[in-house]
Amino acid sequence: MIIIMSPNATKTQVEDVEKKLVGLGFQTHPIFGEIKTVIGAIGDKRLLNTHDISFMPGVENIVPIMKPYKLAGKELKKDPTIVKVGNVEIGGKEIVIMAGPCAIENEETYIGTAIKVKESGAKILRGGAFKPRTSPYAFQGLEEDGLKIMAKAKEATGLALVTEVVDTRDVDLVATYADIIQIGARNMQNFKLLHEVGLTKKPILLKRGLAATIEEWLMAAEYIMAAGNQNIILCERGIRTYETATRNTIDMGAIPVVKEFSHLPIIVDPSHATGSWKYVNALSKGAIATGADGLIIEVHSDPNNALCDGPQSLKPSKFDQLVSELKPVAQSVGRTL
C-alpha cells in the first residue's frame, strides 16, 4: 500500500502513521517530496484496516501497489535508482563498463589484465574467485586466494571489484573483499542466498536466471530489498531458448521493459549471452542503444589458454577498440562513456 500524506501534513503526523503501520507488522518506506510525503507499507495487506489509517490526521489517500514486486517497482519509487560504488555511479548518465577475466587464475595474469582494462576505460574490475560450473570436474576457482589476488589488483589500479558469491557461508568473506557482490544466474532464485546478501550493505549485481521471466527476476530483487539492501544492479545475461548458434539468447527487449516497470539500473553481459567473443562488439552497442546502464565484459590476455570461458573473452586490444567504438553510440542516446 502507498499512503499519500496531504501537502500540509506535519512531521509528527507522518511519524504517527509510520508508528501505526509498524505496529501492524509493516515495513515502512517514507519518501519525502517537495510537496507531498508518501509512505510505502510493505507487508500482508490483510493486516491493514484501511479505514483506521485513512482517517488519521494528515492522510490524504491510500493506494494499493498492484505489482507483486513492491520495492523494486515504480509504483512506490518513480525516480531511477543510482547505485554508487566509490566515485562510480551506475544508473546515471554515464555508461559504466565492468571488465576482467571470467576466473582469477594467477596473480600476474589477473593484475596485468586489470591494468589494461583500466587504461581502456573500465571503471569496475570483474573476476571469479568462486566458480559454479556445470561439471564438477571443471575449474572451480581459487576461492579466498582468488579474493586476495583481487585485493592486490584493486591496490594496483584503484578499480572497484565485483565478484560472485555462491554459498551463504561465504557471504561475509566475499563482502570483506568485494565492492559489488554478484549473484549468478544459477542462484537467482536461491532465496536463502538472496536474503543473506540483502543483509549486507554492499551493492548487489543480480543476474537473470537461465529461464527466468522478467517478473521472476524482479521478485528475486525484491527478496534482497526486503532484507534491507536497496542497492541492486540487474544484469541481463541471456536466457535459454531453442537457439543453438549462441550460448544463450540475449533478451534486448528486457532492457526497456525493466526500465518501464522498475527503478533499478540494468546492465548487460554480452560475453555470457553469446559464448563467443565475435558477437560481443555488436551486442554491446545494441545494449547501450536499447537503454542499458552499463556492460560487464570478459577480457583475458590469453583466451586460448584460459581456464574458464576463453572462447567468449576479448583480448585487451579488442576490448580497447570496443570501448572506442562504444563512445559515439553512447553519445547518440544522450549518454557518456
CA-angle at 75, arms to 220 and 90, nearest 5°: 60
> What is the residue type of 14?
V
In the numeric block, the cell 565485483 is attached to 162
SS (H, E, C) the chain: CEEEECCCCCHHHHHHHHHHHHHCCCEEEEEECCCCEEEEEECCHHHCCHHHHHCCCCEEEEECCCCCCCCCECCCCCCCCCEEECCEEECCCECEEEEECCECCCHHHHHHHHHHHHHHCCCEEECECCCCCCCCCCCCCCCHHHHHHHHHHHHHHCCEEEEECCCHHHHHHHHHHCCEEEECHHHCCCHHHHHHHHCCCCCEEEECCCCCCHHHHHHHHHHHHHCCCCCEEEEECCECCCCCCCCCECCCCHHHHHHHHECCCEEECHHHHHCCHHHHHHHHHHHHHHCCCEEEEEECCCHHHCCCCHHHCECHHHHHHHHHHHHHHHHHCCCEC
Strands (E), 218-316: 232-236, 266-268, 294-298
What pTM does this model have? 0.90
Give residue 50's pLDDT: 60
Residues of CATH 3.20.20.70 domain(s) within the chain? 83-332
Closest CA to 297 of 124, 165, 134, 40: 124
CB 223 within 8 A of CB 230: no
Q: At 59, give phi and psi (nearest 5°).
A: -85, 125
Evaluate whether 32 touches 7 at the Cβ level (below 8 Å).
no
Q: Which residues pair with 249 in a beta bridge?
A: 239
Q: In the CATH scheme, what is the code of domain 83-332?
A: 3.20.20.70
Q: Render pLDDT for 95-148 as a digit per residue (tens, 0 to 9).
A: 999 999 999 999 999 999 999 999 999 999 999 999 777 777 777 778 999 999
- Confidence (pLDDT) at 33: 78
Q: In the CATH scheme, what is the homologous superfamily, with its name and number, of domain 2-63?
A: Phospho-2-dehydro-3-deoxyheptonate aldolase; domain 1 (3.30.70.1140)
Cβ neighbors of 196 (< 8 A, separation 6 or more) are: 168, 171, 227
In the chain, residues under CATH classification 3.30.70.1140 are 2-63
The predicted pLDDT at position 51 comes to 63
Whole-number pLDDT of residue 13: 93
Low-confidence residues of the chain: pLDDT under 70 = 48-51
3-class SS of residue 203: coil
